Amino acid sequence: MKHLRLPLAIAALSAVPAMASDAISGGFWVNHSLYNDDVDEVSYGDTNYEALVLYFDHTDDASGWMFSSEFRLGKGAFTDPDNNNTGGHYGFHKAWIGKEFGPGTVKIGKTAVPFGWKTTNFWPGDEMLGGYADQMDVGVKWSADIGEFNYDVAYFHVDDFGNSTETMDDGGHWGTTDTYQKAQTFVLNGAYEFAADQKIGASYQVGKLRDVSTTATDRPYEGDHSAAVVYYEGLFGDLGVKAQYMITERDLSGLTNVAAALQENKIKNDRKAVTVTYAMNDFLFYVDYTNAEAKTDGNDDQVGSADSWAPGFSYDYGPGWFYLEYVSNDGGIDSDGMVFNKDDDYLYLTVDYYF
């Protein structure tokens, strides 16, 4: 039986005053959820998942160095206290120092992993892309343009600050603080704009998985991961089209608290995604489709593939956006990247406010 819930996110002004500086801004959101169970017939749902979001950005005109960060506080910060570095519902979604050098920019800190593209809105999440869409890791990244070709070269030493394996919007798809952590990841990305507002690209990442279980006191690098994606992005007036095909692989065989629990330690699957958008004045209508096809021995026969559909629209009302989205899933991706069966439907009504 499908599980239906209706979250309503209502924005409000924060009690924290904004400083008189164009380098500081923020926002606030809160969530009201209705579930189709007996409890909701009495309580009419729960109001929670509130979050205060603060942005700090600065450029030193004398040296050219710049800083950018996003700090989230509250249960709606999309983080997991059991698997993050703070132990609470707060942390930095991004925090980097950068500088321009000629045609490119170097960024040091927690930045976006240049790998394919992510889905339209973060409320449904990256769905069946499962940890390969909104990745924010800690390392160094070089981004540059050569004519119509843009590229990124990056090294991410660790998934997040400290022992954290929860980088907020990635949805807990990269181990846990008592199993393993993504580390020492090299990433290459390149895209070519072959026509006006149309580009094709490819990305590749490869790295280690560090054993952070309590029995592995020296935290050795005992696992590996790799992924590759080819993608397309195009804009035809008000119509936007994006598509990508991805292959992923993880070798968990040397990890203490993982290998013994799995029948097959080499996790493989393919991911596919298509997004279609249409802009009409202040409205943006969109459909996100993502798919994960199990390639792991044994799991491919049990699960096969999982699909997610996320149609919706957003409305730009000035200080924020209003979203109405419907999400339907017949599967999911766990913390090891394994595809599993489930049957969920969600309806999201959200409003955020920024100042």
DSSP 3-state assignment of 75? Answer: helix
As a whole number, mean pLDDT of residues 133-154 equals 96
Q: Identify the CA nearest to 183 among candidates 166, 218, 207, 214.
A: 207
**Tokens 């790998």, residue located:** 115
pLDDT band at 20 (very low <50, low <70, confident <90, very high): very low
Predicted confidence (pLDDT) per residue in 106-131, tens digit: 999 999 999 999 999 877 788 999 99
Q: Identify the residue whose tokens are 């500086």.
A: 21
**What pLDDT band is residue 34 in, cutting at 50, 70 and 90?**
low
Name residue, tokens 């206290």: 81
Give whole-number Cα distances, 11 to 25, 27, 313, in Å: 15, 8, 17
Whether the CB-CB separation of 328 and 345 falls below 8 Å is answered with yes
Q: 3-state DSSP call for residue 15?
A: coil
Q: 65-85, pLDDT tens digit by residue?
A: 999 999 999 998 988 999 998
Q: Mean of the per-residue pLDDT values for the chain?
A: 87
CB 281 within 8 A of CB 100: no
CB atoms inside a 10 Å sphere around CB 36: 13
Stretch 214-230: mean pLDDT: 88
Q: CB of 109 within 8 A of CB of 160?
A: no
What count of Cα atoms within 13 Å lies in the side-chain half-sphere of residue 190? 7
Has residue 22 got a pLDDT over 60? no
Stated as kind and residue range, the H or E segment containing 208 is strand 198-211
**Whether the predicted model's global pTM rises above the 0.85 cut:** yes
